[in-house]
A and B are shown apart, each in its own frame.
Chain A
Amino acid sequence: MATDYWFSKLCYDLQRPGAGAEYRADREKVLARYPLAPEVLAAIRADDVATLAPLVNAYLLRFYFGAAGMNDETFVAKLHAMQKEPAHG
């Protein structure tokens, strides 16, 4: 469920043609366009799936990490690890 509008907006916008490539080439340039909370920005920079997952619709989360360059196997492994860890926040 989407609870962080600007991270959700980033994920949604990365679906535009060419946006994923731009993000992978210069992540900070794209991030500067969004008024993201400092803790969200830190989680994005750390590819912290567990912290970001509760902030956005799960389909957009999957799309985001694909656009950011994470392969399916790594993404799924990080999600599965959440089942074994105490919840963040």
Chain B
Amino acid sequence: MAELVGAFAASHAPLIARDWAKLPAASREIITADFAELGRRLAATRPDVLIELAPDHWTNFFIDNLPSICIGVGASHDGPPEPFMKDFPRPIAGDAAFAQHIAKTAFEEDFEPSISHHMALDHGFCIPLSKLGLPRLPRLVPIVVNNLEPPMPSIRRCFAWGRLLAKAIATYPDNIRVAILGSGGLSHSIGEPTMGAIDEAFDRDCIKAFQDGAEGPLTRLLDDRMEAAGNGTHEVRNWVIAHSAAGNRGFDLIDYRVMPEVYVGCGWASWRV
């Protein structure tokens, strides 16, 4: 049987890649060290497969056809189209059979995700992967979560998705080790009148709520304050899904930094599973 061996979260500010050479040396050191620690923890779980949750930054989908959740069931995925990510190795190996099992489990449990047999994974997926320093990437099952354009999945539904992923892993017959990575957050504001604002108070309350672990208070906090903390903050949904898949317990903050130089309140974390 498959086993959930780890759950993790990391920010993915595009300026980490686009403006890397222009960032202050101290910022580069912090970002490098925090991703390296996350990578060390992830590698220690020896995953065969990584389920990664991230938004699609208008790469595969447009308002013509905009899924709330889309599971990438391809045997491989395209790399990021952004010019500043051109060096990311591609194609990215997938796990079609396991991804289809997640989709099948979802439909059996009255969830209706979209599926895609061929996606390009933009910086939201690939910045963490590029910075983790893993000797080789596990097979990747990408799950796009709409964090960009209303209406978006409720926090309540994100908790349900986490439980569903845990069930899909537990019921997969092959003996594989599976880790989960929620990509994005914490607070940031992009293309809005508040662009560049970081809500440190929200971020620290959010971190506290993850540490406390309980679904109700975390849901209320996000329902009440996430919208005002900036449009990019909606990516915290991906942390919630990872948190829920890990059983709402054992949250360990690796680091949190207010980083206006990349427009994001950056966080790195892992969960005990």
Q: How far is the CA of A5 from the CA of B149 in the complex (A)?
A: 13
A59 touches which of B58, B81, B150, B196 (Cβ 8 Å): B58
**In the complex, which of the residues B58, B63, B150, B191 contacts A15, with contact meaning CB atoms closer than 8 Å?**
B58
Contact status B58-A60, CB under 8 Å: yes
Q: Which of A12, A59, A61, A79 has the most CB of B within 10 A?
A: A59
> Cβ of A58: which chain B residues have Cβ within 8 Å of it?
190-192, 231
Q: CA separation between A39 and B112, bound complex, in Å?
A: 39
**A1, A12, A15, A57 — most chain B CB neighbours (10 Å):** A57
With A9-B62, A60-B58 as known contacts, state yes or no: A80 contacts B190, CB within 8 Å. no
B214 interfacial by beta-carbon distance below 8 Å: no
B195 touches A79 (CB 8 A): yes
A59 and B57 form a contact (CB under 8 A)? yes
Pick from A17, A59, A80, A83: contact of B191, CB under 8 Å: A59
User: Is the beta-carbon distance between A57 and B81 smaller than 8 angstroms?
Assistant: no
We find that the number of chain A residues with CB closer than 8 angstroms to chain B is: 22
B185 to chain A, nearest CB (A): 15
Instruction: Provide the bound-state CA to CA distance between A9 and B64, in Å.
Output: 9
User: Given A5-B63, A8-B62, A53-B193, 13 more contacts at CB 8 Å?
Assistant: A1-B150, A8-B63, A9-B62, A15-B58, A15-B81, A57-B149, A59-B58, A59-B191, A59-B231, A62-B191, A79-B191, A80-B193, A83-B193
| Chain A residues at the B interface, C-beta cutoff of 8 Å | 1-2, 5, 8-9, 12, 15, 17, 53, 57-63, 75-76, 79-80, 82-83
